[in-house]
């Protein structure tokens, strides 16, 4: 498991970067609201709604990735090529 920490670090950075990009999507929604305040064009609200759905889908996808990441860190990921190995034998003496 310790050998996988570099992979965990890279994956964690990717997740943090993806979550930070959510702020940009949220800013686009707010910009559509602000535009509506000046134009009273419902198309601007429609844009905000579409962007909100996209943001929700992205949050759901990232939450799933974050959950999987936690499970991998907790359980450990086998090293590359070690997927087919059997679990280690017990160190206890046989009866």
**Cα–Cα dist 25/51, whole Å:** 7
Please give the average per-residue pLDDT across 71-79, as a whole number: 74
What local confidence, expressed as pLDDT, does residue 82 receive?
42
State the pLDDT at residue 5: 65
What's the CATH class of domain 2-74? mainly alpha
In SS3 terms, 3-66 reads as: HHHHHHHHHHHHHHHHHHHHHHHHHHHHHHHHHHHHHCCHHHHHHHHHHHHHHHHHHHHHHHHH
**Tens digit of each residue's pLDDT (9 = 90 or more) over 32-70:** 999 999 999 999 999 999 999 999 999 999 999 999 989
User: Over the Cα atoms of the chain, what is R_g?
Assistant: 22
Enumerate the domain spans of the chain. Answer: 2-74
């Amino acid at each position: 498991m310790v050998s996988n920490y570099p992979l965990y670090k890279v994956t964690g950075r990717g997740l943090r970067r993806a979550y930070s990009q959510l702020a940009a999507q949220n800013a686009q929604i707010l910009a559509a609201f602000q535009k509506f305040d000046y134009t009273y064009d419902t198309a601007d609200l429609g844009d905000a709604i579409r962007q909100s759905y996209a943001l929700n889908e992205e949050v759901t996808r990232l939450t799933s990735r974050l959950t999987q990441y936690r499970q991998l860190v907790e359980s450990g990921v086998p090293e590359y090529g070690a997927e087919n190995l059997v679990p280690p034998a017990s160190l206890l003496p046989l009866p």
